[in-house]
Amino acid sequence: MRYAMTIDTARRIGEVNPLVFGHFIEHLGRCIYGGVSDPGSPLADAQGFRTDVLAAMRKIGVPVLRWPGGNFASNYHWEDGIGPRDKRPARFDLAWRSVEPNTFGTEEFLAYCDALSTSERPCRPYICLNTGTGTLDEAVRWLEYCNLDAERFPSYHARWRRLRGRTEPYAVPFWGIGNEVYGAWQVGHATAEAYAQKCVQYARFLKAVDPGVKVVAVGADNPDWDLEVLRRTGNLLDYISIHQYYGRDDYYGTVAAAAAVERRLKLLCSVVDVAEAMLQRDRPIEIAFDEWNIWYQSRQRPWEEFYALKDALFAAGVFHAMYRLCTRVTMANLAQMVNALGMLHTTPTSLVLSPIYHVLDMYSNYTGRVVLDTALQPEDDEARETLSADIAVQVHGRPVPPPRVVKGVPYLDAVATLDGAGKRLSLAVINRHQSLTATLRVDLNQVRTRSGVEIHQLTGPDPMQQNTVERPDAVSPTTRRLGIWTGPVELPPCSVTVLEWPLQP
């Protein structure tokens, strides 16, 4: 397969918001207990946080972290998780049918965000509110506890935070008004109209407590639902959410699903366009893609997926979709960070980085934030071919779902970016073909580069290969440097490649 591409740094789509590299932790399986928090472990710090997990996440950066759910949020009462840990009540969790000890609560979550933060990439907390068994009054008290200045507004809950040893407000910026309330599986399931009425109340009074907070409304990946919610709440909210999970044993059924993600995001963008035409707003409504991942194997305890190279190619395709839609999709949260659907897996003595983690590393650290408008030109018949695949999620142990075929998916997919300072040009390319190498000829169109190009690549002979405790580096990225750029680059099958050129001033 032969392709050509011309890059012109003057043709720009927009800027990627760093929040699209966000993550999500939920009280599900071993995500919190045994993943994030593991007191007594020789790998834990004084706060009980796994230091190997912290180091891995600081390397890729966590610009925003969503918590406590997810489904768990819809019956979580935050005050159970405040105060001395040995006096906190254990509660039955309706979402996952487990007992929640509440030893990891608001203060621990916010301390964890601090622990994840670096000077270059601070971690901003995103709290999802309980709109199932919870109340508006409970939500407002939570915001008071986190964000209200106890000197200026000495309310009970602001003073309670100060008595707990925190004088300064936590300043939590993002607040989600419920989770997946469109679904019958959710505590607090509601119609779009009923949810929108509740959302208006929550948004209005959250902003009465702290006018600076950003609120996220539940989107259902359903144009009728989403338009109804936006029409009724759009003048008060900042984001509407969307969730997407895919994955199959079939290789093409997994990698092609990234094209379906892009099409669903484009559809939601169109719905937001329609809603904004009916609203009086001075800033656009943004999309929070606040749950996305591969999820098809472990739909029961301990809910742990072990991701393969094919799943990493899907993740790369999702980033390409978000880059191309960067003007509207401004936040995303991979679900989840560790163990339960985790891109990281812990054992009592070790940490395994999945291929999806390596894709996050490549895109977070080696691509730029200014997205360029580029087009791939196929140069032979093989390159002109596209793939079609059944992307319906096959859940192990359940009836086979009806086919859901996505057509016209290109084998090669690429995005070009610049860093904000104009010092680096990056090109990220996915070769989805399972057996053919692609040759890409890149014309830099008089872009003034300095000598040398770095090539970061994730690939392998078996797209089903996973990283395991026994073989933690079975699928790992490589980096090589070319002193002279000749134009064409070879892209092996089943690969993700990022090329970086340093630019002249």
Catalytic residues: 180, 291
Given a contact cutoff of 8 angstroms between Cβ atoms, the answer to whether 292 and 244 are in contact is yes
| Long-range contact set of residues 325-328: C-beta below 8 Å, sequence gap at least 24 | 325/262, 325/265, 325/266, 325/269, 325/287, 326/13, 326/14, 326/15, 326/16, 326/17, 326/20, 326/371, 327/13, 327/14, 328/269, 328/272, 328/284, 328/286, 328/287
β-partners of residue 412 are: 431
Running DSSP on this structure, what letter comes out for residue 90? P
Residue pointed to by tokens 């002193």? 483
Overall size of the chain counted in residues? 505
Q: Which residues contact 429 (CB under 8 A, 6 or more apart)?
A: 412, 413, 414, 440, 491, 496, 497, 498, 499
Rounded CA-CA distance 142/210 in Å is: 12
| Distance from the Cα of residue 222 to its chain's centroid | 20
Rounded CA-CA distance 303/469 in Å is: 18
Rounded CA-CA distance 501/359 in Å is: 19
Residue pointed to by tokens 């895919």? 246
Rounded CA-CA distance 402/105 in Å is: 41
Rounded CA-CA distance 18/4 in Å is: 29
Running DSSP on this structure, what letter comes out for residue 155? -
CA nearest neighbour of 33 among 94, 85, 111, 103: 103
170: helix, strand or coil: coil
Tokens representing 143? 């915001």
β-partners of residue 429 are: 414, 497
Rounded CA-CA distance 118/56 in Å is: 13
276: helix, strand or coil: helix
Rounded CA-CA distance 143/138 in Å is: 9
| Distance from the Cα of residue 57 to its chain's centroid | 13
DSSP H or E run through 143: helix 136-147
CA nearest neighbour of 342 among 316, 313, 382, 306: 306
- Burial (Cβ within 10 Å: 0-12, 13-18, ≥19) of residue 134: buried
